[in-house]
Structure 1
Amino acid sequence: MSATLGTTEGRADSGNLDIDLEELVEDIATAMAKSRSGFGIFIDEMQDLDDELLDARISVQHMAGQKGWPFFIIGAGLPNLPGKLSATRSYSERLFDYRTIGALDHGSAADAISLPMNQRGAHVDTDALRALVTAADGCPFFLQAYGKAVWDVASSKTVNLDDARLAIEIGTEQLDAGFFRARWQRATPAERQYLRAMADGHDEASSTARVASRLNRAASQLTVARSSLISKGLIYAPDHGAVRFTVPGMSGFISRQFEE
């Protein structure tokens, strides 16, 4: 006795990412459109998507715009993300609406530290608050790190400057051990030398010619290291002939590595 099993060819199961993603989005989005709803994909650290997946998602977003599907990609990433999108698909610059999220201003940063503590019956004095806000330099993640540290170390409901200084020391050690070191370890020894030449005590953009001069090399000899660091998301090119760290505080971390 024998039996033959048949299969019914479906959709979004061809094994080809471009075709499958397009069919999946079409089916879901058109079904949701009937109830006046939409289909969205939210992507954090979008610059870390591999090239194939990024290309497929950009392509299907483009297709959705052409066919009127209620499908939207909402992504967040480092400053090198727009460049990576354009390098993947040149029309990306017209496809997406870019919003830059920079550092918090002094007042907002101070509120981020003080208001949660006030709600719990604690108070941060003026000098302590100024020290914490200055150390965080407007970076939300750093404010979280220093805010947690000062809450943990404060000996009373009134946070003073000594508490803030200890919290900054502890918070910086934790950032160095995790946030910064994870990025540093992604760089090769040659790339670390490039990063060190960029640092020079500041986080502002550096001229590629100046970096080359500090390393006593021709700029053309450093193209591979520069391109690799950009692809790894450690630096980006804000202007022609310039490079900058993708995260604030990286120069300080690098300086601390060579002080040890």
Structure 2
Amino acid sequence: MGNPFNPGAGRKPPYLAGRGKVTSSVKTDMRRVYEDSEGMRPVIVSGLRGMGKTVLLRELDDFARSQGWVAIWVEASKGDSLARKLAQAIYVELRRLRSAERLTGRAFEHALAVLRSFQLKIDPSGAYSFGIDIDPAKGYADSGDLSLDLGDLLGALGEAARDAGTAVLICIDELQEASIDDLRALNVALHNIGQGSAPVPVFFVGAGLPTLPAVLAEASTYAERMYRFYTLDTLDAGAARAAYVEPVEELGSRWESDALNAAIEAAAGYPYFIQQCGFCICEQIEPPAAITVVEVTAGIELAREELARGLYRSRWDRATVKGKEFMRAMAIDDGASQLGDIAQRMGKKSANGLSVLRDRLIRDGLIYAPERGYVAFTVPGMADYIERAEEM
């Protein structure tokens, strides 16, 4: 019999616990976009690693596809053009819909022509030719101003969807990895297509680390008023209990009370650990046998070892020698660390001398600044890993 838990980056768990309000709210907006054939405010979902941001985006993408939407998925990455990735993803989706004869007509052909114009502007050398067998649309997406050209592309895509009686969902994961210029262009384009007299039915959802709202605001000052922001935090005890119990009951087994309490306490509300811990525990039982403290104790240890080898070790190894010293100084604290305390532990006269090192660790996605003068790890449990590694 299969294991009911599904650990891994972005993999959909068998039971999506504690995210019902966010999912329901965003889906309600999506329904309004479809019913009114007009856009709604774009959405940003932020949170630490392993909180379920990608899973939430996948849930929305699945919902859109089940409703016959045009669904675009992009994962931003450092050093890679977000505009090019977005154009390529749009091309792949339009080619699929064209082959299936899902989108047809003049509006659709115009969208392809605008996409061709956009592609030629962002990649004039043709190194990333998407094979669009149509002439570019003159006067559209060819100004050389990325924000205006991206707005033309999204507008044409929305008009094609409206003409076909559907809507467009654009999901961009790891959005904080995009360059500031690409983020500025995205902000302007989304702002502009939402300001028209008849906003096109394009709905945008971006996801990233807790730094993302501040990064978007740095790119465009009005971003904080343009988006709807949601934060995914650790699960409360009730949601964590459901995340453990529901899959096991589907398996035909059950938890002994003290065993379940031990598993909940060990996870501390961290969704990624719940999946890994649940998986390791269920590997040791044969349903319908009950899960006891014996399996839970062994499962917790196996889960911690798995996360140490993968999630934590990979991040630790990315840091420089000085970066590791900085993070060791952070690991002493229970929660966010004050820069002044870190400086003192590292033998520095003031926190000013740590700014370059701090910024590099933030750029590498290892830490973030929850508020001015403080830093914290982007992955829950990282401090415990560092302390255990130092003891070994």
TM-score (norm 1): 0.89
Asked if residue 91 in structure 1 is aligned to residue 197 in structure 2, the reply is no
Could you tell me which runs of 5 or more consecutive residues in structure 1 were left unpaired when the two chains were aligned: 1-7
Which of residues 113, 119, 123 is equivalent to 2:254? 123
Letter in 2 for 1:70: P
Q: Runs (4+) of structure 1 moved beyond 3 Å?
A: 16-20, 34-37, 50-53
Once the two structures are superposed, the pairs formed by residues 1-260 of structure 1 within 5 Å of their partners are 11-12=117-118, 13-15=120-122, 16=144, 17-35=146-164, 37-67=166-196, 68-154=199-285, 157-200=289-332, 202=334, 204-217=335-348, 218-260=350-392
Aligned residues of 1:136 and 1:142 also touching (Cα < 8 A): yes
**Partner Cα distance (2:298, 2:275) in 1:** 15
**Partner Cα distance (2:260, 2:333) in 1:** 24
Could you tell me which runs of 5 or more consecutive residues in structure 2 were left unpaired when the two chains were aligned: 1-112, 123-143
Deviation, 1:167, is 0.5
Q: Which moved more, 1:43-52 or 1:243-252?
A: 43-52
**Partner Cα distance (1:176, 1:20) in 2:** 45
Q: Which moved more, 1:240-249 or 1:168-177?
A: 240-249
**Partner Cα distance (1:49, 1:119) in 2:** 40
Aligned residues of 2:181 and 2:219 also touching (Cα < 8 A): no
Aligned residues of 2:148 and 2:189 also touching (Cα < 8 A): no
Deviation, 1:65, is 1.8
Q: Deviations over 1:47-88 (max 9, x none)?
A: 223334333322211221222233232012221111121122
Deviation, 1:89, is 2.1
- Judged with a 3 Å threshold, the aligned counterparts in structure 2 of structure 1 residues 247 and 106 are, in CA distance, closer, same or farther, namely same
Letter in 2 for 1:186: R
Deviation, 1:97, is 0.8
**Partner Cα distance (1:229, 1:89) in 2:** 24
**Partner Cα distance (1:58, 1:165) in 2:** 48
**Partner Cα distance (2:227, 2:343) in 1:** 35
Aligned residues of 1:33 and 1:69 also touching (Cα < 8 A): yes
Letter in 2 for 1:72: F
Q: Aligned pairs, how many?
A: 252
Percentage of pairs with the same residue: 35
Q: Deviations over 1:86-126 (max 9, x none)?
A: 12222211111111111111111111112211121211111
Give the match for residue 3 of structure 1: none
Aligned residues of 1:109 and 1:133 also touching (Cα < 8 A): yes
Structure with larger RCO (C-alpha < 8 A, sep 6+): 2
Letter in 2 for 1:167: G
